[in-house]
Structure 1
Amino acid sequence: MLSSLLGGCRGVPSTGTGSRLFWTFLTLGFLGMSTDVLAHAVAQGDRGYIQEITGINLIAFIYLGAKHMVTGYDHLLFLLGVIFFLYQMKHIAIYVSLFALGHSTTMLLGVYFNVGINSYIIDAIIGLSIVYKALDNIGAYQRWFGFQPNTKAATLIFGFFHGFGLSTKIIEYDISPDGLIPNLLAFNVGVEIGQLIALAMILIAISFWRKTDGFFRHAYTANVAMMSAGFLLFGYQLTGYFVA
């Protein structure tokens, strides 16, 4: 994607307002990768709350879902990669909707049917999803293999994996079956609210950056940074899998 513009780019981000906003967001994302974040976990306090409550608690689960998405750096990095070169709102809406469809489907069905996947393996795949999208953004597949993968299908498929990442954790927390379906639906609503909030923040930062002369000159560097974060997540999870 736009490989002719990005192929030879190497450099330091420009000092424009938009560039500073974007790189601040990306840097905070890296610095915020605590052990819990890297493990795709729900916060310890929230975990205890989920395990203790019973019955229908819609507002609480909406809040928990929104909080998870806004603080889920693996989700946000993938979302950033997806919209990096999307300029029209209709295209952004299509890709974000595909990601939401995949994420929601496997999260709901995974918990309801108690389908769990080893959390280290699924989170390693989520790390690779970030690597995949960063490589796609710099046109690597066209240069290396001479073809462009279906980006919509990839977004949906990786959305499935992101959903399984969350459902696996929820299953581990042994959520009460009393009010399970309404609470899961409320949680999913919260996830989508959180995604919209995060998307708005990303769009504000990247929109300012796109108005500067340095956007195309340093887009390569930004995607390499995202790819590095994806490899970091992947390596961390594989290490956890073999050590555990």
Structure 2
Amino acid sequence: MQRPSIGGRCGLRLAASHASLPLILLLASLAPAIAHGVAEGDKGYIQEISGINLMPFVYLGAKHMMTGYDHLLFLFGVVFFLYRMKHVAIYVSLFALGHSTTMLLGVYLNIGMNAYVIDAIIGLSVVYKALDNMGAYQRWFGVQPNTKAATLIFGLFHGFGLSTKILDYNVAPDGLVPNLLAFNVGVEIGQILALTAILIAMGFWRRTPSFLRHAYTANTIMMTAGFVLIGYQLTGLFVSPI
């Protein structure tokens, strides 16, 4: 099940006055999004401990997802036009399957990825989903991409983003697998908490006439945030020391 396109109905209705809470939240997310990374305090703590430490890793996983505005922006786009919990569960499960798989394998197999490139792709996923919600692909190419497949594929890239951050922790090999599983549990807890807040806000917004009036604007802002993420990461890639 896929959302209705808003391109035809709302393309000319970009009124920005009386912006609703979701729009404000998107604007507020722009600054923290480009600063998303590993907190030095957390990194130092992880480097000092060894053995099985389940609760600290659960906490770090939840914190990482709750403050991972690039991941949350993509989730916001995924659920934007999903009205039934069954459909929300399907798409969120596909996203969780994707990012859990590459996160666990990436760390366990020590697959090093360039953080700037991965984060730029994550920004691209935000742009992709915003354009999808705006009905751009149907207007431009006359086709609708498989949204479930796209959610899973971009979930895989989001997982590499998570694994890159975990590798930056320099986690001790002693107790790595249990700690990694605990981190993943924390990520899913953080995702559920964040998604609950998003769905509650969306539920209130959808009951107002402003939802369709501002839906196109919201996705335009989300697309802009994605381009900001891409530009920031690519700039870091080209100016960072080799």
Task: Give the TM-score band, short-chain normalised.
Answer: over 0.9
- Please tell me whether residue 33 in structure 1 is matched to residue 33 in structure 2: yes
| Pairing 1:5–2:9 present | yes
Check conservation: 2:33, 2:229, Cα contact below 8 A.
no
Secondary structure at 2:112's aligned position in 1?
coil
State whether structure 2 residue 191 is matched by structure 1 residue 195: yes
Instruction: Tell me whether 22-31 or 151-160 shows the greater mean CA deviation.
Output: 22-31
1-structure distance, mates of 2:94, 2:34: 28
Distance 1:27 1:239 in 2: 21
Q: How far has the Cα of 1:120 moved from its partner?
A: 0.5
> Which among 133, 154, 157 is matched to residue 158 of structure 1?
154
Query: Does the aligned pair in 1 maintain the 2:34–2:232 contact within 8 Å?
Result: no
The aligned residue for residue 176 of structure 2 is 180
1:98 aligns to what?
94
Work out the CA distance in 2 between the residues paired with 1:4 and 1:239. Answer: 35
How far apart, in 1, do the equivalents of 2:68 and 2:92 lie? 16
Change (3 A) 1:233 1:34: closer
Matching of residue 145 in structure 1 with residue 141 in structure 2: yes
CA contact (8 A) 2:27 2:221 kept: no
Which amino acid in structure 2 is aligned with residue 181 of structure 1? V
Q: Return the match for 1:127 from 123, 137, 145.
A: 123
Counterpart residue identity of residue 182, structure 1: P
Q: Please point out which of 52, 59, 69 is paired with 2:55.
A: 59
- The 5-angstrom pairing of residues 13-92 of structure 1 reads 13-14=17-18, 19=20, 21-33=21-33, 35=35, 37=36, 41-92=37-88
Alpha-carbon separation, structure 1, partners of 2:138 and 2:30: 29
Distance 2:98 2:223 in 1: 22
What CA distance in whole angstroms lies between the structure 1 residues aligned with 2:186 and 2:80? 24
Equivalenced residues, count: 236
Query: Which residue type is aligned with residue 106 of structure 2?
Result: G
Matches of 1:171 and 1:32, distance apart in 2? 22
Deviation digits for residues 180-220 of structure 1 (CA, Å, limit 9, x no counterpart): 00000000000000000000110111111101101111100
Give the whole-Å Cα distance in 2 for the aligned partners of 1:13 and 1:58: 47
Q: Distance in 2 between matches of 1:6 and 1:47?
A: 45
Q: Following the alignment from structure 1 to structure 2, what is the Cα–Cα distance between the partners of residues 138 and 27?
A: 18
Query: 2:15 is matched by which residue type in structure 1?
Result: G
Output the TM-score relative to the length of structure 1. 0.93
Alignment pair present for 1:113 and 2:113:
no
Cα deviation for residue 7 of structure 1 reads 2.8
The CA distance in 2 between the partners of 1:33 and 1:66, in whole Å, is 16
Q: Which of structure 1's runs of 4+ aligned residues deviate more than 3 A?
A: none
**Which consecutive unaligned segments of at least 5 residues does structure 2 have?**
none
Aligned counterparts of 2:13 and 2:88: Cα–Cα separation in 1: 25
1:125 Cα offset (Å): 0.3
- Give the residue type in structure 2 aligned to 1:6: C
The one-letter code of the counterpart of 1:170 is I
Percent of residue pairs identical: 69
Cα 1:195–1:13 shift into 2, 3 Å: farther
